[in-house]
Each structure stands twice: as structure tokens, then as C-alpha cells.
Amino acid sequence: MYTHYFELKEKPFSIAPDPRYLFMSALHQEALAHLLYGLNSDGCLILLTGAVGAGKTTVCRCLLEQLSANTDLALILNPKLNAMELLASICDELEIAVSGDPNSIKTYIDHLNRYLLDAHARGRITALLIDEAQNLSIDTLEQLRLLTNLETGEEKLLKIILLGQPELRQLLDKEEVAQINQRITSRYHLLPLAAEDVPAYVEHRLAVAGSRKRLFSKAALKRVGELSRGIPRLINVLCDRALLGAYVEEKEQVDLKIVNQAAREVFGGRTGKKGLAYLTRGIPIPALVASLMLIVFGALALSFYYGHWQFIARNDKAELSPPAKPVTEITPAGHVESKTGINILHLQQVPEKESGSANDDMAAPKPFPQPEN
């Protein structure tokens, strides 16, 4: 849609792993070098991990183009397989004709071992590459370990490359797969692009697509790096939407406003500078949790402290004020009651003394009447 408007031969920010668009930053070059070294060394297990969208699959596509002519590769893209399905997939990829019991693991192992020995005798290298390896089960990983036992007296017959997200490293740290973890001879974790690499990455893809103009302003490129956190896949998605926005507004260049609008459309409402995700980006999770706990406990302590001094202030005020005298009255029924309406004492009403000493407490009792004779 916007390719003709910006005079591009094709869309420059497709998320397909096209090796032509591979931007070989220092990190990507190092990752590729690790894979090539692992294939040509005496080791048998090579590990490449990285965050989602960091470019692992694209690096591997580039690896496939650089494989030597004497290398045979079995590529497994769906690792959610049991041990037997994995062996069957490897044989299919290497075009190994399997005869015998198709439900026997031994059948596949025997055929694979004969193939590997013959390939080694002919001077060929056989490699197995498994993408999304974090989805492998423990049983399947154990079967991979058994495949590393296929060897001659000098070297292993099968090179195994495992690609996966950071969860793969956690999986390999489990005690159940300690033996296969010990056999990994080359490890590399692919990090996101550095801030200074993001503009070069965007310009590289635009140049491959045929651009002759600067289609993003410097402020827009800086914002793309902030919002994408250097992850190539997110950069592609964001830049593709930004170019579409510039086309709709009939602008010759993507500016900061268009990038922010594209981010709201792509990521939703989670990209503002005042958002929690933006404020906490780059902070380690343990530090973030500790900070939140400190804030909560601080608020509780402040609340307790404030309430405690309020309580003391009320008590001091009560001690300084003279106690109020209870006001009582005698009700017509002869009950002494406080003004609060609480019955204090039940007394029989006694008539007042008409005369006598002021010190008398009460009138003298009247004599009982004498009986008449």
C-alpha cells in the first residue's frame, strides 16, 4: 500500500526471517560465529537462546546459507514430539529409508546409526537443528542425549543445535537433564539491539527495500528504540505501522507524533511515559518487587505512626479537661436518672423536712398510731 508512495520495491519491515534483511550487529555476528564454530568443532551440542523476536531464527537462516557443501542438515521446526516421533522426523529430513517395525525406537536408531557411519566415512558432516527447543519434553531431551552417544573413536557423528527462548536455559538447569546440559560445548544468548544500533537497523532494512530517502526523523528513530526495547521483531511491527500512518497523512517522513500513534495502535495503551511498563523497563524483577514491598510497608508504618500520635493527642486533651459533673434529677416515678437517660439508682421519694436543725439529715419518723381501748 505505502511501497509505491515511498518508492520502495517491497515492504521493508516484514517479520518473515528473510536473510537478505539480516542486520549483522556485533551481537548477531558473534551468535553466527558460535554456531559455525560448533558445527566445525569436536563438540556435539550447541545452544543459542534469546528473547522472543531477538533474531534467533534469522541468524539460523543465515547459517543455512553458509553451511559447507559437505554438510547435511535435519531441521525440526515443531519440537512438540515424543522420542519416537523425533527419531522418525530426523530420518525423514535426512531421507533415510526405514524398514522393519515402525513402532520401535531401536529400528530408527539402527538406521540412523548406519547412515551416520556411512556419512562420516564419506567425509560428510550431519547436523540436527531444533527450533523452539524450550518446548521439548524431558523424555525427548533424554533421547537427544542418547543420540550424542553415536560416535567413532575420534568424534561424534551428529551435531545438535538447540534454539530457544530463555526458558530453555531454565529447562536445562533441571536435575533430570543434567547429563545433556554437561554435553553442551558452545552456548550463546542473543541480546536485543543496543540503542545506537536501532537507527542503523531501520536504515539497513529501508536500503535493502530500495529506499533513497530518509523516511524517519531522528526523534522518531529514538522513540522506536525506546518502545521496542531493541527487539527486532517489535521494531519491524512498529515501523511498518508508522510508514502506513505517514502514507495516510500524506507526509514524506515519519515523525515523533506518527510513531507514538503507531505505538498506540500496535501495543495498545501501554506505551506512555507515565505508564508502569515504561517506568519499570530495564529494572530487574527482584529489585522491582523489593521496591514495591518497601513502598507498601512504608505506607503501613506511616499509617500506624499517624494513628498512634492521634491517640496520644486525644488522651492528653481528655486529661487536661475537668471531668464533667453528672447532672441527675428525680423523675416523677422516683428514679434518679442522669441526663443521658441511664437509670442510676432506684430510691423511694422522701418528703422534705419542714423544720429542724440544718444539720439533720432527714425528718424524724412519725410514731405508729396507738390502738383504742
Encode pLDDT of 82-126 as tens digits.
999 999 999 999 999 998 888 899 999 999 999 999 999 999 999
- Among the ranges given (68-82, 147-161, 245-259, 340-354), the one the predictor scored with the smallest mean pLDDT: 340-354
Whole-angstrom distance, CA of residue 226 vs CA of residue 235: 10
Virtual torsion, Cα 157, 99, 145, 132, nearest 10 deg:
100
A 10 A CB-CB count for 261 gives 15
**DSSP at 177:** G
What is the reported pLDDT for 105?
92
Between helix 232-248 and helix 197-208 the angle, nearest 10°, is 60
At position 283, the amino acid (one-letter code) is: I
pLDDT tens digits for range 293-317: 766 666 666 555 555 545 555 555 4
Length of the chain: 373
Q: How many CB atoms lie within 10 A of CB 373?
A: 3
Q: Convert the pLDDT of each residue in 155-171 to its tens digit.
A: 889 999 999 999 999 99
Question: What pLDDT does 269 receive?
Answer: 61
Cell of 331: 423523675
What mean pLDDT value characterizes the chain?
80
Query: In 3D, which of 94, 88, 91 has the Cα closest to residue 71?
Result: 94
User: When comparing pLDDT for 217 and 343, which is higher?
Assistant: 217
pLDDT at residue 329 greater than cutoff 50 = no
Of 181, 180, 122, give the one whose Cα is nearest residue 149.
180
pTM of the model: 0.67
Q: Is the pLDDT of residue 5 over 60?
A: yes
Give the pLDDT of residue 303: 59
d(CA 245, CA 254): 8
pLDDT at site 328: 44
Strand (E) or helix (H) holding 40:
helix 26-40
| Cα 40 to the center of its chain, rounded Å | 36
Contact 232, 23 (CB under 8 A): yes
CB atoms closer than 10 angstroms to residue 165: 19
**What sign does the CA torsion over 284, 287, 291, 293 have?**
positive
Judged against a pLDDT cut of 70, whether residue 288 lies above it is answered with: no
Q: What percent of the chain has pLDDT over 90?
A: 50
pLDDT category, 344, cuts 50, 70, 90? very low
Q: Which residues contact 220 (CB under 8 A, 6 or more apart)?
A: 242, 253, 254, 255, 256, 258, 259
Q: Say which range, 127-141, 234-248, 282-296, 327-341, has the weakest mean pLDDT.
A: 327-341
Where in 165-229 does DSSP place strands (E)? 184-190
Residue 11's Cβ-count burial label (10 Å; 0-12, 13-18, 19+) is middle
For residue 42, what pLDDT is reported?
79
Residue 64: the pLDDT is: 87
Backbone φ and ψ for 164, nearest 5 degrees, come out as: -170, 175
